[in-house]
């Protein structure tokens, strides 16, 4: 199950469900940009976190465009910057269904792999192009596969 968890984490990093997350600032904080300019964010200010950008930023991820489940091994995941990976949010407003969602994903993948061989259908474009459907990330041209019973 360890490797499956690594694949799930890497899939969540590369193809996050929500591209952005909104939060409300509770403490005054000074932010300094790469250009040296500073900005004070006051309590009560609404902020938008660019989840997709964070999870693909080369500042936080080595070779961020590559699918690399091994970045989630015990040896390597300790080097991941806190708050650079937010598939379920973080802090007091973290998704309450986190454990249930991960359990369901693992069970679904295990069930599919026990019963079927999965092959890419030629209708699926590669690399898969991701767009937005409302606020959700989704493959723009669909994700077509063949399921062949084992």
Q: Count of CB atoms within 10 A of residue 57's CB?
A: 13
- The structure's pTM equals 0.86
Domain ranges in the chain?
A: 2-114, 117-149
Annotated binding site for heme: 95
pLDDT tens profile 38-58 = 999 999 999 999 998 999 999
pLDDT tens profile 56-112 = 999 999 999 999 999 999 999 999 999 999 999 998 889 999 999 999 999 999 999
Task: Provide the 3-class DSSP secondary structure of residue 37.
Answer: coil
With the C-alpha atoms ordered 54, 58, 62, 66, is the resulting torsion angle positive or negative?
Answer: positive
pLDDT band at 131 (very low <50, low <70, confident <90, very high): confident
């Amino acid at each position: 199950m360890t490797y499956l968890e690594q694949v799930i984490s890497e899939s969540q990093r590369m193809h996050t469900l929500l591209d952005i997350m909104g939060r409300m600032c509770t403490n005054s904080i000074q932010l300094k940009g790469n250009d040296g300019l500073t900005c004070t964010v006051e309590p009560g200010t609404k902020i938008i976190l660019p989840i997709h950008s964070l999870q693909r930023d080369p500042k936080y991820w080595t070779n961020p465009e590559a699918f690399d489940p091994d970045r989630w091994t015990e040896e390597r995941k300790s080097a991941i910057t806190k708050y650079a990976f937010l598939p379920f949010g973080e802090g007091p407003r973290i998704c309450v269904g986190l454990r249930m969602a991960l359990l369901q994903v693992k069970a679904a993948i295990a069930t599919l792999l026990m019963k079927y061989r999965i092959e890419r259908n030629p209708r699926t474009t590669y690399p898969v192009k991701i767009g937005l459907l409302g606020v959700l990330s989704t493959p723009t041209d669909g994700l077509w596969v063949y399921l062949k019973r084992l």
